[in-house]
Amino acid sequence: MGTIILGTGSCLPSRVMSNVELESIVDTSDEWIRTRTGIENRRIGGTGEKTYQLAASAARNALEMAQVDAEEIKLLVVGTVSSHMLMPSCACYVQNEIGAASAFAYDLNAACCGFLYGLDAGDRYVRTDTQSKVLIIGAETLSSRVNWQDRNTCILFGDGAGAAVLGHSDNSERKIIGTNHRSDGGLWDLLYMHNAPSQNPDLLVEDNPGAHIIMEGREIFKHAVKAMEEAIFGLFKKTGLSIDDVDVMIPHQANFRILNKLLERLEIPREKVVLNVMHYGNTSAASIPLGYWDNRGKFEPGTSRIEIDVAFGAGFASGAILRRVG
Ligand code: UT7
């Protein structure tokens, strides 16, 4: 008995921005971006492609695959740091768009771990209310949150959304096997984004340059590999499984170099790892469910396998989830 993913979905903005196009915006080059990050293109949201609109579209795909009606959804969570409004939540907009009238809905701010932590919350919800269906979404339009004059950050991020519908299964084999997450607030200043300036003069934050991403790339690099490795090995310890049991790894897609280092340390063959950062850039909370979507159809239906999701991001948040599927 446990929680299973009944269906997945994705939505990407139609506009593709290449590294070459970025050369005309900031002092960079296709060659620099490819060799330092592996990114070749990213998607950029346009009219009708706000975060909640991408999220709603991904949700509709996931509901269709799951053959679940929107009205059956009891909990709707959107992992995001780039909703078009601070209040109400992006999740409430999505609820309205898709007609999930019976749901309660909220956003989850865990940056690039937003989808993973949402999956954890959804798993626990389904296990305590086995009749319920849950919709977890990761959706971002970080193009609206980067400083387009800052070459350190604007080349990295992209927009998109991915979704998963969760439900209960009586099958003791197929389920979310375990989760292992950790946040380290002491490292908050490696990656952050201010709010709009305070309306209360006494609560003004000094040096607030606006609501865009500020990042210490090199430091993040070091912590990212270590945090993901610890999340995975901690999870193996909890579950009694090992890297040899894993058939598919879906990591947060931030950077090829970070991922290569992680794969080296884990000694996991590259063929087992879903990689799409070259097409979409870093889509933060959307990157893991976009990975699910890109991996769909790779196995015959019913093929039993173990998949692991792993992520890191601002916070400094990290985590991993093991799932048996098929
Ligand atoms: O979800 C989490 C999000 N964040 C991350 O995943 C970031 C993790 N960090 C990284 O991926 C890498 O640190 C970066 C790709 C961001 C940068 O690579 P790096 O090898 O750490 O480069 P660096 O920041 O040490 O910069 C090296 C040089 C600098 O020039 P100088 O000082 O050596 O003359 C930078 O100014 O590269 C320069 N540089 C660029 N040059 C061309 C920085 N950004 C660019 C750019 N194009 N876009």
Q: How much distance in Å is there from the Cα of 256 to the middle of ligand 1?
A: 13
Q: How much distance in Å is there from the Cα of 44 to the middle of ligand 1?
A: 21
> Is this model's pTM higher than 0.85 or not?
yes
* Ligand 1 atom nearest to 111, measured from its CA: 1
In tens, the pLDDT along 291-320 reads: 999 998 888 888 899 999 999 999 999 999
Average pLDDT over residues 46-60: 98
Establish whether 212 is a catalytic residue.
no
Helix and strand counts by DSSP (H, E) for the chain: 10, 13
CB-based contact 14:46 (threshold 8 Å): yes
Average pLDDT over residues 110-130: 97
In tens, the pLDDT along 208-249 reads: 888 899 999 999 999 999 999 999 999 999 999 999 999 999
What is the best residue among 36, 252, 261 to mutate for testing ligand 1's pocket, by most ligand atoms within 8 Å of CB?
Answer: 36
First to last CA, the chain: 15
CA-closest residue to ligand 1 atom 3: 254
**Residue-level pLDDT at 207:** 87
The distance of Cα 236 from the centroid of its chain, to the nearest Å, equals: 22
193: exposed, middle or buried (C-beta count within 10 Å: 0-12, 13-18, 19+)?
middle
In tens, the pLDDT along 5-20 reads: 999 999 999 999 999 9
Which one from 11, 112, 113, 154 is the annotated catalytic residue?
A: 112
* H or E element, residue 113: none
The distance of Cα 89 from the centroid of its chain, to the nearest Å, equals: 17
How much is the mean pLDDT over the chain? 96
Tell me what percent of the residues of the chain surpass a pLDDT of 90. Answer: 92
Indicate if ligand 1 lies below 6 Å from the C-beta of 256. no
Q: How confident is the model at residue 1 (pLDDT cuts 50, 70, 90)?
A: confident
**Residue-level pLDDT at 173:** 77
Which one from 168, 181, 252, 279 is the annotated catalytic residue?
A: 252
Establish whether 41 is a catalytic residue.
no
Q: How much distance in Å is there from the Cα of 113 to the middle of ligand 1?
A: 22
Indicate if ligand 1 lies below 6 Å from the C-beta of 155. yes
The amino acid present at 194, given as its one-letter code, is H
Distance (Å, rounded) from C-alpha 146 to C-alpha 129?
40
Q: How much distance in Å is there from the Cα of 31 to the middle of ligand 1?
A: 13
Residue 178 sits at the vertex; the CA angle it makes with 174 and 181, to the nearest 5 degrees, is 145
* Ligand 1 atom nearest to 254, measured from its CA: 6
Distance (Å, rounded) from C-alpha 48 to C-alpha 61?
17
CA-closest residue to ligand 1 atom 43: 152
Indicate if ligand 1 lies below 6 Å from the C-beta of 317. no
**Residue-level pLDDT at 170:** 87
What is the best residue among 255, 262, 290 to mutate for testing ligand 1's pocket, by most ligand atoms within 8 Å of CB?
Answer: 255
Q: How much distance in Å is there from the Cα of 22 to the middle of ligand 1?
A: 15
What is the full DSSP assignment across 32-53?
Answer: HHHHHH---EEEE--TT--HHH
Indicate if ligand 1 lies below 6 Å from the C-beta of 281. no
Judged against a pLDDT cut of 90, whether residue 259 lies above it is answered with: yes
Establish whether 92 is a catalytic residue.
no
What residues contact 70, with CB distance under 8 A and at least 6 apart?
A: 59, 63, 98, 99, 100, 101
Judged against a pLDDT cut of 80, whether residue 87 lies above it is answered with: yes
Judged against a pLDDT cut of 80, whether residue 47 lies above it is answered with: yes
Distance (Å, rounded) from C-alpha 27 to C-alpha 223?
27
* Ligand 1 atom nearest to 258, measured from its CA: 11
**Residue-level pLDDT at 171:** 78
Indicate if ligand 1 lies below 6 Å from the C-beta of 112. yes
DSSP state of 71: G
In tens, the pLDDT along 139-160 reads: 999 999 999 999 999 999 999 9
In tens, the pLDDT along 161-220 reads: 999 999 999 876 789 999 999 999 999 999 999 998 999 999 999 888 888 999 999 999
Average pLDDT over residues 263-288: 96
What is the full DSSP assignment across 224-245?
Answer: HHHHHHHHHHHHHHHHT--GGG
Indicate if ligand 1 lies below 6 Å from the C-beta of 218. yes
